[in-house]
Amino acid sequence: MESIMRSTTTPKVTLNKSFNGSTQKLAANKAVVKAASKSVVTCEQKPVVIGLAADSGCGKSTFMRRITSLFGGEPTPPEGGNPDSNTLLSDLTTVVCLDDYHSLDRTGRKEANVTALDPAAQNFDLMYEQTKSIKEGGSIQKPIYNHVTGLLDPAEEISAAPIYVIEGLHPFYDERVRDLLDFKLYLDISDDVKFAWKIQRDMAERGHSLESIKASIESRKPDFDAYIDPQKQLADIVIQVLPTQLIPDDNEGKVLRVRLIQKEGVENFSPVYLFDEGSTISWIPCGRKLTCSYPGIKFFYGPDTFYGEEVSVLEMDGQFDKLEELIYVESHLSNASTKFYGEITQQMLKFSDFPGSNNGTGLFQTIVGLKVRALYEALTSTEVKANA
């Protein structure tokens, strides 16, 4: 906690400017990829900048696709650019991965004995300067961190788009960057769920041993606890993914309890609520209008505090058997920023093959997407056409 609180005043991080030799490579390689935005940003309409923080492998990419889909177009890498680019462009949005601001490549981190979670392995100066340029409507020569080779590739040109999203490990760590953000999101996966997911993926799909998986998680945990996890207290919305309370001693991570933690008093944002705003409600919707196999579904809504801040919490424990029946739950939600009856259900059905589509993860990511759309409309005085 101490390290993140230091960074909220004057960022005290050791920035390695050498890029392990890659700065010279970037300067020498002017074979820059044109990643021209698909929408023009005028001087009057500056980009809305959103930050999403989460650990690696926690579903940031899925979350981003749910959000960007509400603004039209399929997110794709820059046309004609580096096939290993991490940037995604769609009709109104540009999503940038903050791994591109690593100051050390994979070999450099190993030699320096630091992880990718360590602030010393990030170039916060460049992150700030380029995010500021985009916020002012300009274009940037952004580095590319190649996840395949572990190297820093030649830069790509990124132009301002109406909605500019930075996602990664440290979007709120540096105060200068944080102050540029119009809205801050944090995806918080509990240790138990993260461990269960990693076992399912790495043992079943990659043949890793249980011991190696445990060792991998433990090696990252100190830096995660020190530098990544504390950022959630700075977020406007936190999606928290926890083990279910419907199954005693469950350790499989297949049934989840998901909490949508919404900060009160945020400009241009008001929380979604269930039934009656400000009340404390526990609701089991299973019955004639909602099919629920074991262990069922339970909702909770009520006021709470989160790191000393007033919040509203909407919680779902369990999963949907028939996604089309979500319309029954949607009809009891208020202030969800939908444009027509059933929009949440439509979006969930549209991406029914995405991870989390049958539980609170997908539901709350969709609601957050609607809230981001409403925020964009409020900040820019423009209307985004619904994908009806």
Sorted by where each begins, the domain ranges of the chain are 29-185, 236-377
**What confidence tens digit (pLDDT) does each residue in 12-42 have?**
333 333 333 333 333 333 333 333 334 444 4
The whole-number pLDDT of residue 337 equals 98
Q: Is the pLDDT of residue 60 over 70?
A: yes
Helix (H) or strand (E) holding 306: strand 297-306
3-state secondary structure of 297: strand
Amino acid (one-letter) located at 115: T
Contact predicate 280/302, CB 8 Å = yes
Q: Is the pLDDT of residue 259 over 80?
A: yes
Count of positions (residues) in the chain: 388
Helix (H) or strand (E) holding 28: helix 22-28
The whole-number pLDDT of residue 288 equals 86
Cα separation, 371 vs 38, in Å, equals 23
Q: Is the pLDDT of residue 350 over 70?
A: yes
If one compares 98 and 32, the residue with the highest pLDDT of the two is: 98
Averaged pLDDT for residues 226-247: 97
Cα–Cα nearest to 365, from 378, 341, 347: 347
* Token output for 303: 């006021």
Minimum mean pLDDT range among 28-37, 68-77, 130-139, 292-301: 28-37
* 190 CB-near residues (< 8 Å, 6+ apart): 240, 241, 242, 243
Question: What is the architecture, at CATH level 2, of domain 29-185?
Answer: 3-Layer(aba) Sandwich (3.40)
At residue 192 the predicted structure's pLDDT band, cuts being 50, 70 and 90, is: confident
CA 211 to chain centre: 29
Cα separation, 63 vs 65, in Å, equals 6
Q: Is the pLDDT of residue 219 over 90?
A: no
* 110 CB-near residues (< 8 Å, 6+ apart): none
Tell me which residue has tokens 């998901």: 258
